[in-house]
Amino acid sequence: MSETKSCGASRREEFKDLNPVLDKYAKVPGSLITILQQAQEIYGYLSVDTINYISEATGIKPAKIYGVATFYAQFRLQPIGKYLIMLCKGTACHVNGADRIEEAVCEYLNIQDGETTEDGVFTLNNVACLGCCSLAPVMMVRSNDGNETYGNLTKDKVVQILAEIRERA
């Protein structure tokens, strides 16, 4: 009995960042996508363990959760790279050449939006407005060290930034 309790407790501990989300939404009908979005925001992707934990909390079968997660392109079932590039494709960035920046990133890293480089260093994610439009075009790079924002990007500048990050990865 006490074993079951401590196992449950350590599992709750393992998902301690997700628990507040589940406390708020688990029993609210129609909240699965919100839960999955926030789980991905916390862990970077939706692991089998995370999906099972969400299933236990919500009572929704894992197969149904997988169905939703694979239906929407925004959800990732594989781990992301060490550095997550969030490339802004919002209006201000678009007008200021975000497509050219994306082209340069894709060419340099040999990946497309949503993919991870073979060495596991970078994942590219196109996102909507990052909230610093005056610096357009902008990207944010997320790692264990936090978020770094890079603005006024050019094709050369973005490649140079990625090369520097790769060197220290």
Bind-site residues for [2Fe-2S] cluster: 88, 93, 129, 133
Cross-sheet strand order for the sheet of 83-88: 122-127, 83-88, 139-143, 146-150
User: 18 or 130, CB closer to ligand FES?
Assistant: 130
Q: How many residues bind ligand FES (CB under 6 A)?
A: 12
**91 binds ligand FES, rule: CB under 6 A:** yes
Residue of the chain from 15, 53, 69, 90 that contacts ligand FES (CB under 6 A): 90
The answer to whether the Cα torsion of 53, 59, 63, 67 is positive or negative is negative
Strands 139-143 and 83-88: antiparallel
**86 binds ligand FES, rule: CB under 6 A:** no
In the range 116-135, which residues lie near ligand FES by CB under 6 A?
Answer: 129-133
Half-sphere exposure of 115 (CA within 13 A, CB side): 12
Enumerate binding residues for ligand FES (CB under 6 A). Answer: 88, 90-93, 129-133, 136, 138
